[in-house]
Amino acid sequence: MNHTQTPGNPDQPPEIKGYQLLEQLSGGELLPCWRAVQQATGREVLIRLLPSALTPAPDTLERMRATADRIIALDARSIVRVYDFGVCVTNRRYFMATELFSRHSILEWTRDDEYLSETNALLVAKCAAEALAYAWDKAHIIHANIKPEKFLVNADNIVKLDEIGLAKILAAGWEDSSRGVITGTPRYMSPKRLIKKRAPGIPDDIYALGLTLYQLVTGIVPVLYNADRDEWQIPPELNNPRDVNPELSKGMGNLIQKMMEVKTDRRHQSWKELLKDIASVADNMILLSDPDVTQPIMLEMNFSLETVRIAMRRAKLKIKANTVTSDAAAHKPNPKNTISSRQRSKAILRPRHS
């Protein structure tokens, strides 16, 4: 049987010097992912293959490696770390080795309950703003593809932002290409970046984070595609997230709207400025007071009285379904709506202190 590796055949495990690949994980067509062991350290890592169209020419490799070295040096509590960058032995594709943190995004905390609480969303915003402020100060790194799927939550309920630096490495690889490739997800790109197809800056990341927060606190993405004009637009009736979720505070609504301003100069211009506004909105939330920034931001369950009442109502429905009539049994609660899923909507993200 022929096991020849080719760039277009990502299903077979590539050979990577210094790593033992264990199993393939979901990662999409362009960026296949593998769980692996880094033999020098014995730690498990995530191997992510970069697009096969990036050929390892000497100049390109040198430029991408220089960029990767800056990203590998980043180490902060809210970042999924990058450990290594190189070229596979067999299929000659570039790879990144990162922290094997989690494959579960923050969206899985909202799937059954439609949206996060304001407190949760503010802490997700803080997670991103802290991580990207650090990345910018240390290495002038822009994320360029912020969206809910990039916020990962692990089994210990720790929240981190994934793929910091990936767009920068890809940009270094495409630098001498005439393709005009723009990394990112169009639906989450700022209007100016979409129209002018320019490189992103901090205000563009802030726009994407604002759109992410809008989605997390309302359950919808307000950007719709206008086929007649071939562009993404936000309908006027969806401008204010409070019109969709009236439970949001006025401060939260104003914060998101400012982050999503169409005109770049009307948004926050720095992560420091945004963090100040996040703290202002959360002024009465003690959980945002965080003297120890070395500890990870965690997600904890809040067993509230409302949660107990929900559990009791569901228990009564099940008893009624089992003892009264078969018709009643047909209307028993959806198995997906478990207590644990409801608890997710009441979960509180907070920093863990030692």
Stronger pLDDT, 16 or 227, i.e. the higher one: 16
Higher pLDDT, 134 or 235: 134
Mean pLDDT, rounded, of the chain: 76
What angle, 0 to 180 degrees and rounded to 10, lies between the N-to-C axes of helices 202-218 and 271-281? 30
pLDDT digits (tens, 9 = 90+) for 190-217: 888 887 777 789 999 999 999 999 999 9
For residues 112 and 23, the model is more confident at: 23
- Which range scores top for mean pLDDT: 201-210, 295-304, 326-335? 201-210
The conformation of residue 195, written as its DSSP 8-state character, comes to: H
For residue 254, the model assigns a pLDDT of 92
Handedness of CA 97, 98, 99, 103 (dihedral sign): negative
**What sign has the CA pseudo-torsion 151, 192, 52, 139?**
negative
- Cα separation, 81 vs 71, in Å, equals 8
What are the structural domains, with CATH classification, of the chain? 8-100 (3.30.200.20), 102-299 (1.10.510.10), 300-351 (no CATH)
* pLDDT class of 297 with cuts at 50, 70, 90: low
pLDDT per residue as tens digits for the range 266-285: 999 999 999 999 998 987 54
Dihedral pair phi/psi, residue 293, rounded to 5°: -80, 0
Distance CA(351)–CA(288), nearest Å, equals 7
Instruction: Classify residue 188 as exposed, middle or buried by CB count within 10 Å of its CB (0-12, 13-18, 19+).
Output: buried
Q: Which two tokens stand for residue 244?
A: 């969709």
State mean pLDDT over 225-238: 71
Backbone angles phi, psi at 47, to 5 degrees: -95, 125
Instruction: Judge contact between 103 and 193, C-beta under 8 A.
Output: no
Q: What is the pLDDT of residue 258?
A: 94
306 Cβ neighbours under 8 A, 6+ residues apart: 346
Binning pLDDT at 50, 70 and 90, where does residue 143 land? Answer: very high
pLDDT exceeds 70 at position 320: no
172 has pLDDT over 60: yes
